[in-house]
A and B are shown apart, each in its own frame.
Chain A
Amino acid sequence: MSAAAAHVAGPALRGRTTLTARALHRLAVGIVASASGADPREIALRWDDADGGLHATVTLPLRMGTAAGQTLQEQGASVRTSLVTGMAERAGRRVDGVDLRFTGVRREDARRVR
């Protein structure tokens, strides 16, 4: 999954790489899921434009038990930085802001066998 946006068109080959809004959404959900350990189906994410930059609004469940000893602020900060660096590395997009909202708690030991 390496979708690099071509900032500067190469002199040899013409053409451009387009990332659709849907692709951006799925990519960001994947990044947040792997960073927070939450189920991708429980993550709601919306991209907005903020003065030419990208702004993400993420709603995700809090996962207890995975990050022991971390405060909620630290967990949020790690999700935020991983989303920003992930989007910069994979999609070449600068993310200007990430709003995180934790809704509910998923206990690690209370997971049911499906």
Chain B
Amino acid sequence: MNEGDRVGDRRLLRRELRTSRATPAVVVAVVLLGAALGTAAAAIWTTDPSGASLVQDGAVAVRTAWEEPSWRAAAAAVAGIAGIALIVLAIAPGRRRRHGRGGARVELVVDDGLLADAAAQAVARHCALAASQVSATVTARRVRVRIRPISGVPVDRAGAADAARGALERMGFGIRPVVTVDAKGVVA
């Protein structure tokens, strides 16, 4: 395996873990292209006398609308929302709900739901609880484990955290567990 393959693998992993920005990029390109074509068409029309009046009417309509404060505010709001959305799309990491890790030979991509299930199962087994009493959610760097205890049976919180950490480390993901125990338990 040479260096190029390794870089290619890392790119592949990144592709699997991040959302594609192709769709918003295509949308922006199409809109800009449409605006450019529209401007060109309007410029060509103005040379034709019959078209000039039409374009002029259009310009007048736009100007009167612009005089109206509500229209102006609406236009500003739309532009602002579109701008903010585009900036967020450009800057945000666009994480997919997956975790990946590189390895010596293969790259591994695992859905967050599967990791959460593994952690919840390990905790349920450690605490001798029903699987329905343990729920887990996996975020970028931590797994939140929520335990609904049995009334009158103390929950070993540190042991539960260790169980979750161990289950995830066996799969090669060092995600920090955060264990919360519900204040209210179930009688049985």
Q: List residues of A whose CB falls within 8 A of some B CB.
A: 5-9, 14, 16-24, 47-55, 87, 92-96
Contacts and interface: CB of A to CB of B under 8 A. Distances in A.
Given A19-B188, A92-B153, A94-B152, A51 B126 contact: no
Interface core residue of B126, B128, B185 (most chain A CB under 10 Å): B128
Dominant secondary structure at the B interface: loop
B125 A47 contact: no
A92 B151 CA distance: 11
Contacts of B181: 52
Interface in B147-188: 149-156, 159, 181-188
Interface residues of B, number: 22
A23 B181 CA distance: 25
Given A9-B126, A18-B130, A21-B187, A49 B151 contact: yes
B128 A53 contact: no
Pick from A21, A52, A95 the residue with the most CB of B within 10 Å.
Answer: A52
Contacts of A23: 188
A52 B181 CA distance: 9
